[in-house]
A = this chain, B = another copy of it.
Amino acid sequence: MNEYNLEVVQEKYARLICEVGLNLQPGQKLFIWAAQLEMAPIVRQVMKIAYQMGSKLVSVLYHDEVATQTRLEHAPRDSFDEYASWKTDARLKAMNDGDAVLLIGGPDPNLLQGYDPALIEKAARAYGRYVKPIRDLISKNATQWLLVCPPAASWAVRVFPEDSPELAERKLWEAVIKACRLDQPDPCAFWKSYLDQLEVRSTQLTRRQYQTLKFTAPGTDLELGLPPGHVWIGGWDYTAGGIKFCGNLPTEEIFTMPHREQVNGTVRATRPLSYHGGLIEEFELEFKEGRVENFSARMGEEILRSMLETDDNARFLGEVALVPHNSPISGLGLVFLNTLYDENASNHLALGNAYRVNLEGGPEMEEDTFAVVGGNTSLIHEDFMFGSEEMDVDGLLPDGTLEPLMRNGEWVWD
């Protein structure tokens, strides 16, 4: 393992966050939601750089994930429909004020293991109600937003369970450094150029306007319709006001919106899915006219069930994303147990909410109209991986031609 100076790495990371991910504008305020108290050192680096870039104010809402466990252990059993709405009020106010929003922190993937799934689901549903307007604004890119996951001790020991906590955290940093290209001489310059490349590929795909994508791999045989006017997005995101940003760092994916009622066939997940602190492993889904009609999982089937039962549309897809198997994250050969990284190692789908920006005119549509043209609206948006080096992808053009897109997990085009 290479040696690195954590403080230097964190400063590089913070600069990448502010300059590329958020592309902070002069004077713009920044709101940070930190998933753990231990994010403090990097949060302070982000504050420093944001202020140096001229931000008028940086404020931070720290979440304490241990408190979630304390609640599950000790709170009255009938109190789990309560939610501290000041927390979502704060995020909503920031977005409505046009502040940039940073979500930072890689949570413990096993945080909620062993707790009552019914209570967890009740709490998640209460949260879902309050977070919905925020998801709507994010889905419309109302302002710059960014999700990054620096290592946390609780997460590291899940990824490297045989190692000491110190070594595990060091190894996870090493992987994150590679995935985020913090080992590049100038990570900001690297990402600016790489995001340009992803944007070019997504523009090419949007121009093709495939009617259907076909996915085949062991355990997977899926036909997925795309609505007319669908937009592939990759690399840069753009706010409604036209500011360039990048909502996920790292990102390798190019994604769009399936037609919610035109998904048929079977899907086998190729990586575990961490949902509300529980792990769903080796699961399969069967779709009929867009809806998950059957499902099974070797582990965490109950968690999968409660996820699918969040609301009526949780069983429909909101996203399809293409990631070549040779991505650097895939090359690390590591299951991160964290969607931000794992989704960028593989082709994936998301159950639940679709992004308005993946449809021409989507951001301005009424919810009803969005549904009619094939857009899905749900309290959840959960990515899961189904790509592998054994996956082929083909696109059906409007003229009936079937065009190969990926073979053995890699792009056919160059």
Please give the residue numbers on chain A whose beta carbons come within 8 Å of chain B beta carbons, in ascending order: 27, 29, 37, 40, 43-44, 47-48, 51-52, 54-62, 64, 66-67, 70-71, 73-76, 79, 82-87, 89-90, 93-94
Chain B residue numbers with a CB within 8 Å of A67 are 43-44, 47, 58, 60
- Given A51-B70, A51-B71, answer yes or no on A62-B37 (Cβ-Cβ < 8 Å): yes
Chain B residue numbers with a CB within 8 Å of A47 are 67, 70-71, 74
Taking the nearest CB of chain B, how far is it from the CB of A302, in angstroms? 25
Could you tell me if B64 and A44 are in contact, using CB atoms closer than 8 angstroms? yes
Chain B residue numbers with a CB within 8 Å of A51 are 70-71, 73-76
Could you tell me if B57 and A84 are in contact, using CB atoms closer than 8 angstroms? yes
Taking the nearest CB of chain B, how far is it from the CB of A140, in angstroms? 21
A-B contact pairs, 22 of them (CB 8 A): A27-B79, A37-B37, A37-B40, A37-B62, A43-B64, A44-B64, A44-B67, A47-B71, A48-B73, A48-B74, A51-B70, A51-B71, A51-B74, A51-B75, A54-B76, A56-B82, A57-B75, A58-B67, A58-B75, A60-B64, A87-B90, A89-B90
Give me the 4 closest cross-chain CB pairs, A-B, nearest first.
Answer: A59-B84, A86-B90, A51-B74, A62-B62
Could you tell me if A66 and B44 are in contact, using CB atoms closer than 8 angstroms? yes
The residue in chain B whose Cβ has the minimal distance to the Cβ of A82 is B57
Chain B residue numbers with a CB within 8 Å of A93 are 85-86, 89
Taking the nearest CB of chain B, how far is it from the CB of A94, in angstroms? 7
Complex: A67 Cα to B58 Cα, angstroms: 9
Complex: A94 Cα to B37 Cα, angstroms: 22
